[in-house]
Amino acid sequence: MSSPGGAGTERRLAWLRGGELPQTHNARTIAALASNPGCARRALLDAAATRKQDIAEHAGYPVPFGMSPFALSRGVVFERQLKDDPGGLLLALLRETLNLDIAEVGFTDLNDVGGSPDLAVRHARTKAVLTGRPDQRGTLFDHPLLRFRVGGRHAYLEPDLIAFRHDDTFHVVEIKSFAVIDGQADPAKVAAAAIQSAVYVLAMRDLVGDTATVHHESVLICPRDFANTPLATTLDVRKQLGVLERQLSRIAGIDSVLAHVPADVSFSLDADEKGVPQRDPGDLLRDIKRVDANYSPECLASCELCYLCRDEASGSTSVLGKSVREELGGIESVPRALKLARGDDPLPVPEDLREAAAILRRAASLRRDALAAARAETW
Amino acid sequence: MSIAEAADRARLATEEILASMESVPRGVVVDSPPGAGKSTLVVRAATELVRRGHRVMVIAQTNEQVDDLTDVLAGRLADHDGDLRAGRLYSESHRVGWRVERHQNVVSAKSAGELLDCRVVLSTAHKWATVTSDEQWAWAIVDEAYQMRSDLLLRVAGLFGKALFVGDPGQLDPFSVVEVDRWSGLSWDPTTSAVEVLLNHNDHVPVKRLPVSWRLPASAAPVVSEAFYPFNPFTAATSPQERRLEFGASAFGDNSVDRALELAARSGWALYELPRAHKPRTDREAVRACAALAARLLERAARTVSERSPDPLPVTPDRIAVGTAHRDQATAVRAALAELGAEGVTVDTANRLQGREFDVTIVLHPLSGRRDATAFHLEAGRLCVLTSRHRHACVVVARKGIPDLLDAHPSVEPVHLNVPVKFPDGWEAQQAIMAHLERHRVAAP
Amino acid sequence: MTTLTSLAKVEAIALDRAQLIRTVRHVHVSPRPLIFVPLQLAGEACAPLAAMVGDDRDHERLLIAYEPRDRTERFRFAAGLGEVILGYVDGYAAGDPGEGVPYPDAPQVWVPNAGGMKFAELLGRSTRFRRTEGPHPVPASVPLLGRWVTYLAERAQHPLSSLFLSATQALTAHWATGQSATEDQNLATLLAWIAPPPGQTGAQAALLAENPARCPPAGPVTDPDFDRDVLEGLIKAIVAARQSGDAAARERAQALMARELHSVLKPTWDLMWQAVDLLRSLPPGDHVAERWKTDRFSFTGYVRYLQEGGVPQARRDAAVDAARRLARLENEAQQLAAHMAYDDPLVMAEYRMTGDAFAGPVVRAEPDRLDETGKRARLRPWITVETTDDVLAELGADLRSPARPAQQARVIEVERAGERTRVTIELQSGMGRKLVPEPGSVPGLGDVVCYTTFKAEFQPPPKFPDREDTPWTHGGPPPEYVPRDEEAAEEWE
């Protein structure tokens, strides 16, 4: 057995990927790790940094989520007006929100490395600049390229943040285009922003080491009310940091997941030189299904493989949602739940299902009686 | 720490609080961890304020709590000044308990007008909210203030000038059956606790703390403190030597129930672990295990030695509690206890065990046998209440597999802007408690 | 979810179609509801794109903001929508019903889903503060529309109200499908389960309905593919034509956009009427009319408030308003729960499952029992009910029966023996004034009766301080609300 995250693991993950380059992670994909940590299939696809979207599509289950061009352009426009004049609008916002007394700031775009697309070069530059001599004026760093350990491997984070440094303290500044109306915003979107911020905070802490602190309070900048005027709000991400650290430490143990996966399983698309998948879709699907999934309707909002897993789970109470399954006494199979409720199974009820069976039978009889009473109107 | 030292620290803290009440413009909040002498503080503060010549209203959350406080206060007032009288204001639907009626210096009445000559009047927040009076009370003492909803505070706050708010921030938050986001982020969100809203609007109000727990034994205080009060640690007043749980009758043969009880007697904790299985809420085996543990405690004539008495005191049924998350679980445990002939043991949900104290508690773990965790089952306050009611030992009954369940839990709770983050996080607190319990495991057959 | 509704979901899968979880309808359905299907531009807080609206299923009206990012277009759209909605609302507010009397009927607006409700709330927020004069004048229908949709959106939070309904919410309150609650938010798949086309199972129909190309989303956000492939180009063409002053090209592009939007909205329009029909086909619960009456009163009150020049609803509730509203909502939630249980044996069955209600035959009855402990003898019949239900009610608990909701009853004794529990109950009122009960006022031997621990009675609202007496704990009295110019001029871009 190889050491966790060692060469053996790396070889297996590469095999799972099938010769393709690993996908770059971004804060969104890393944040998604927290959304269904109990799913081995998802954990493996993520750890191997596969093209989940293409895999799902090739296996016959196209991904349901797209992005509207209107939403994209709205985001771009909003972000641009802030970054076009960082010393003005952005600084004023930060000053006010963080209660700082700074007259001016420097602005450094770390994306600009003499046109070098090499991630390692960009990361090195980020590191050099961010750990350099602190500037008491306060400095904004756009597009810092961070590096993150996921599943025992370093992944570069496509930057989507600004780091603000003041008095040796960094704040993560996130710009989002969802509106804050009268102080309220969509809680699901804020939650997503918070966990992404937490990813950045962790990666920044990793990068700057002890030379500075990265504050657990991020600054979220959103459009205010119905206008394009920006509004900054601080976001305490301590809880999200706790969650992420724990989930990441589990993903580092991807070996324990791999141990249950047959050695010949591969998610390879066998793409030709033009990138067109050549693999037999049925074959791919079979391999996917050899890794256990943990489907729940929540997956529909976040996982590329959701339709595949939902289809696979049909006939199971998990497709109805967690609370339904709980109310059914934890029974896994729909036909079984029904049989227990009707009490018409000729076979004796197994010992471990008797309690659930009693509850279901009682519910079924109450339901039957109530429907009969309603028909007879004798209540 | 010796009891004398603990007493000194507690006294210092109390004195500092009482002294600060002279000078604060509006009031004081006192955070009190489990069993840190909250009621004692309420009664002392009331007596002290009365002595300084103020009229004091005491606001508690339930009639039970009001009767308890009245009982202690009446005794103290009688020691202090035979002429001072306390008023017990009650509502139509309540019958004042015997422990109140027995005091000569307590006047009970349904209307505040009949209690005008009482220097201190006690009632529930709901009853106080019906009182109309132009006359202001100089001081209010609000007990269990973290369990009081802020809309109720709004209804009574006009009655008093200054207030002492006392409560345990680690217990269950108030809630509403109505789920609307409408008020989230408002500093006066009516669904949040009285203390939260008060502090939002009055940053000059100091928050003080009681530093030692008189209830929790040395085996429990650090565990509970670390898991549920990460930023405000407290310690046990007693040392391990000062508390003992022992059995009058020895066990015959070797069985897991006895082993769990003995481990709990020795170390203050036991995890009675049933085999891994997904079960309905009223998991028969788990329910029976809870009942069996309670019944066995009585059967084996458990007794305690503590700072309260040098001679062993029997653990009577009223000194034992079984705590559950759901009502139907409590009902099932009661039925199981009745079958075993063990009468008089308190069985209730966490909500209803708040503020109560026992020698030994048996806890049906909220996550036992579950497939999924929900916010309800993860809530830190629920587990905190359940694991902090005991003076001697706590036995947790659970199906194997809770750590796995926690690890698989998707941590994607919605986040509301401008709402302060609450600590501890339920998920992390659960992990911490499980990590501790793992070291006190007894496998059930 | 309860065990009974969960079981119904399992049955829905087994029987290939959605199952009823209620035996009666618990919402009021107007004979002439207004259907409102709004669409908005993706990525924006509240940029109206189009709406299909009307109270006649054969005459839908399509309103479009051809350049949804353009302020003038937005207000033109809002003014148009205002005319339709205000015209509908005014139809119910004719004349003066007189003091203390509500209008004979009230408007009822339906949107497809929770997103539609949120859209209405935001539309109300972005229009109600506008003014008809000053620096940014808008047509009078705009701020009035804002107040009315805000009023409706606020009423929708009231458990007892049926003035403003979401179709998915109303349907899922009555049917259990074989899909999850998340998927039930999709009106098309929900209706596919409730009324699958002939020859298809609910699951098959739902799978087809999930395809946005086949069933356009019910909004308010449109399908991203539609945005990219159709809408983006059309809007660009319209903007370009306007900029170049090419009126003919602009008209052509607008006509094309109208056609596309019509084809995207019409399927949902039809589904909305199908939803209305389905709900209407259920018999109403006994308390539905009583609840609708509170809606009529509320509507009448708001008409009057506007007539008297009332200011628009505040952005957020002040402390006292928030607490008062919460008390009201909680009270209503309790009343609604009781109403539903009393009107519907399937709802009551859920309480019987959890031990909050029990039912069974009367096995012992002392209808003439007198309590002679007081000065005067009082009629206090005892009955004993035998039930196999779990009974959570404790000694002394107050009970009510749906058959005699006003009659007070108290638990005297609970005896458990195996599966059966015998509960002895003392009846304390509702039997007439004599020392023998009125006929029918006391259940007889062998009658099957049901008792619960909750009551459908109205609770008087608790007392709160006046706004100007807001205590220091809650920040003191808030400033008096005065509409400000900035609000009227707020950007909407």
pLDDT along chain C (493 residues), means of 10: 94 96 97 98 93 97 95 94 97 91 97 97 95 88 96 97 98 98 97 97 96 92 95 96 94 96 98 98 96 97 94 94 96 94 95 94 94 89 95 89 91 89 94 89 94 84 93 93 74 68
Instruction: Over range A9-23, report the average pLDDT.
Output: 82
Q: What is the extent of the structural domain holding A107?
A: 69-245
Residues of chain A with C-beta less than 8 angstroms from the C-beta of C1: 321, 323-324, 327
| Inter-residue contact C202 to C177 (CB < 8 Å) | yes
- Is residue C266 one of the residues assigned to a domain? yes
- Is residue C458 one of the residues assigned to a domain? no
C-beta atoms of C23 and A371 within 8 A: yes
Whether residues A79 and A222 fall in one domain: yes
- Is residue A350 one of the residues assigned to a domain? yes
pLDDT at A4 (0 to 100):
46
C-beta atoms of A320 and C9 within 8 A: yes
- Is residue C442 one of the residues assigned to a domain? yes
Distances (CA, A) of C274 to A44, B431, C59, C107, C196: 45, 50, 15, 19, 12
Distance, in Å, from the CA atom of A243 to the CA atom of A262, rounded to the nearest integer, reads 30
Q: Nearest CA of chain A to the CA of B412: how many Å?
A: 6
Whether residues A91 and A234 fall in one domain: yes
- Is residue A311 one of the residues assigned to a domain? no
Instruction: Over range A177-181, report the average pLDDT.
Output: 95
pLDDT at C485 (0 to 100):
72
- Is residue C99 one of the residues assigned to a domain? yes
| DSSP, res A119 | H
According to DSSP, the β-strands at A139-142 and A162-166 are antiparallel
Q: What is the DSSP string of C218-246?
A: -SSBPPHHHIIIIIHHHHHHHHHHHHHT-
- Is residue C482 one of the residues assigned to a domain? no
Query: Which of A19 and C33 is assigned the larger pLDDT?
Result: C33
Whether residues A345 and A206 fall in one domain: no
Q: Read off the CATH number of the domain in which A190 is found.
A: 3.90.320
C-beta atoms of C333 and B177 within 8 A: yes
Which of B186, B371, B411 is closest, CB to CB, to A330?
A: B371
Distances (CA, A) of A230 to A69, A79, A89, A221, A236: 21, 9, 8, 6, 19
Query: Which of A92 and A312 is assigned the larger pLDDT?
Result: A312
Residues of chain A with C-beta less than 8 angstroms from the C-beta of C361: none
Whether residues C254 and C362 fall in one domain: no
Whether residues A260 and A364 fall in one domain: no
C-beta atoms of B327 and C392 within 8 A: yes
Q: Nearest CA of chain B to the CA of A130: how many Å?
A: 29
Whether residues C152 and C204 fall in one domain: yes
Is the per-residue pLDDT at A5 higher than 60?
no
C-beta atoms of A373 and C183 within 8 A: no
Mutate to test the interface with A, among B412, B413, B427, B428 (most CBs of A within 10 A): B412
- Is residue C397 one of the residues assigned to a domain? yes
Q: Nearest CA of chain C to the CA of B93: how many Å?
A: 11
| Inter-residue contact B144 to B87 (CB < 8 Å) | no
Residues of chain C with C-beta less than 8 angstroms from the C-beta of B186: 316-317, 322
Whether residues C20 and C161 fall in one domain: yes
Residue of A nearest to C349 (CA): A366
| Inter-residue contact C348 to C340 (CB < 8 Å) | no
Whether residues C141 and C58 fall in one domain: yes
Q: Read off the CATH number of the domain in which C388 is found.
A: 2.40.30
Whether residues A149 and A267 fall in one domain: no
Q: Is some CB atom of chain C closer than 8 A to the CB atom of A337?
A: yes
Is the per-residue pLDDT at A65 higher than 60?
yes
C-beta atoms of C330 and B153 within 8 A: no
Whether residues C409 and C299 fall in one domain: no
Whether residues C243 and C363 fall in one domain: no
C-beta atoms of B410 and A35 within 8 A: yes
Residues of chain B with C-beta less than 8 angstroms from the C-beta of C469: 158
B neighbours by CB contacts (3+ pairs under 8 Å): A, C
pLDDT at A116 (0 to 100):
60
Whether residues C263 and C354 fall in one domain: no
Closest CA to B20 of B164, B232, B159, B233: B164
Whether residues A196 and A97 fall in one domain: yes
Residues of chain A with C-beta less than 8 angstroms from the C-beta of C224: 65-69, 71
Out of A225-229, B439-443, C216-220, least confident range: A225-229
Distance, in Å, from the CA atom of C20 to the CA atom of C7, rounded to the nearest integer, reads 11
Whether residues A183 and A124 fall in one domain: yes
Whether residues C426 and C303 fall in one domain: no
- Is residue C477 one of the residues assigned to a domain? no
Q: Nearest CA of chain B to the CA of C330: how many Å?
A: 6
| Inter-residue contact B402 to B434 (CB < 8 Å) | yes
pLDDT at A102 (0 to 100):
74
C-beta atoms of B407 and A323 within 8 A: no
Which of C45, C225, C232 is closest, CB to CB, to A181?
A: C45
Which of A190, A296, A330 is closest, CB to CB, to B279?
A: A330
pLDDT at A344 (0 to 100):
83
Q: What is the extent of the structural domain holding C417?
A: 341-452
Q: How many folded domains does chain A comprise?
A: 3
Whether residues A81 and A224 fall in one domain: yes
Q: Is the dihedral of CA B316, B322, B323, B326 positive or negative?
A: negative
pLDDT at A1 (0 to 100):
38
Is the per-residue pLDDT at A379 higher than 50?
no
Whether residues A130 and A230 fall in one domain: yes
- Is residue A1 one of the residues assigned to a domain? no
Angle at the Cα of B414 from the Cα atoms of A235 and A78, rounded to 5 degrees: 55
Residues of chain B with C-beta less than 8 angstroms from the C-beta of A243: 411, 425, 427
Which of A191, A246, A329 is closest, CB to CB, to B413?
A: A191
Residues of chain A with C-beta less than 8 angstroms from the C-beta of C10: 317, 320, 328, 334, 337-338, 341
pLDDT band at A153 (very low <50, low <70, confident <90, very high): low
Paired with C196 in beta bridges are none
ipTM summary value = 0.94
Q: Is some CB atom of chain A closer than 8 A to the CB atom of B375?
A: no
Q: Is some CB atom of chain C closer than 8 A to the CB atom of A301?
A: yes
Out of A354-363, B246-255, C298-307, C360-369, least confident range: B246-255
Whether residues C229 and C353 fall in one domain: no
| DSSP, res C457 | P
Is the per-residue pLDDT at A211 higher than 70?
no
Q: How many folded domains does chain C comprise?
A: 2
Q: What is the phi/psi pair of residue B309, to 5°?
A: -155, 130
Residues of chain C with C-beta less than 8 angstroms from the C-beta of B140: none
Is the per-residue pLDDT at B286 higher than 70?
yes
- Is residue A313 one of the residues assigned to a domain? no
Whether residues C302 and C345 fall in one domain: no
Boundary-marking domain end, from C318, C333, C351: C318
Closest CA to C492 of C143, C86, C2, C97: C143
Residue range A278-310, pLDDT digits in tens:
999 999 999 999 999 999 999 998 899 999 999
Size of interface A-C (CB pairs under 8 A): 157
Residues of chain C with C-beta less than 8 angstroms from the C-beta of B183: 316-317, 322, 326
| Inter-residue contact B7 to B35 (CB < 8 Å) | no
Whether residues A272 and A216 fall in one domain: no
Whether residues C285 and C401 fall in one domain: no
Is the per-residue pLDDT at B226 higher than 90?
yes
Q: Nearest CA of chain A to the CA of B320: how many Å?
A: 28
pLDDT band at A151 (very low <50, low <70, confident <90, very high): low
- Is residue C209 one of the residues assigned to a domain? yes
Whether residues A61 and A73 fall in one domain: no
Distances (CA, A) of C178 to A368, B116, C94, C148, C353: 19, 64, 45, 37, 22
Size of interface B-C (CB pairs under 8 A): 93
Q: Nearest CA of chain C to the CA of A12: how many Å?
A: 36
Is the per-residue pLDDT at B199 higher than 90?
yes
Query: How many residues does this entry show for chain B?
Result: 445
Chain B from 261 to 290: CB within 8 A of any A CB: 277-280, 282-284
Residues of chain B with C-beta less than 8 angstroms from the C-beta of A322: 371-372, 374
Residues belonging to chain C with any Cβ–Cβ distance to chain B shorter than 8 Å: 157, 159, 316-320, 322-323, 325-327, 329-330, 333-334, 354-355, 390, 392, 416, 462-465, 469-476
Q: Nearest CA of chain B to the CA of C353: how many Å?
A: 10
B37: left (phi over 0), alpha (psi -120 to 50) or beta: left
Instruction: Over range B167-186, report the average pLDDT.
Output: 92
Looking at every residue in chain B, the average pLDDT score rounds to 93
Whether residues A238 and A349 fall in one domain: no
Whether residues C374 and C296 fall in one domain: no
pLDDT at A84 (0 to 100):
85
Q: Nearest CA of chain A to the CA of B373: how many Å?
A: 9
3 state DSSP class of C315? coil
Is the per-residue pLDDT at B82 higher than 90?
no
Which of A190, A243, A352 is closest, CB to CB, to B416?
A: A190
- Is residue A98 one of the residues assigned to a domain? yes
- Is residue A306 one of the residues assigned to a domain? no
pLDDT at B289 (0 to 100):
98
C neighbours by CB contacts (3+ pairs under 8 Å): A, B
pLDDT at A113 (0 to 100):
62
Residue of B nearest to A251 (CA): B407
C-beta atoms of B410 and A38 within 8 A: yes
Q: Is some CB atom of chain A closer than 8 A to the CB atom of B414?
A: yes
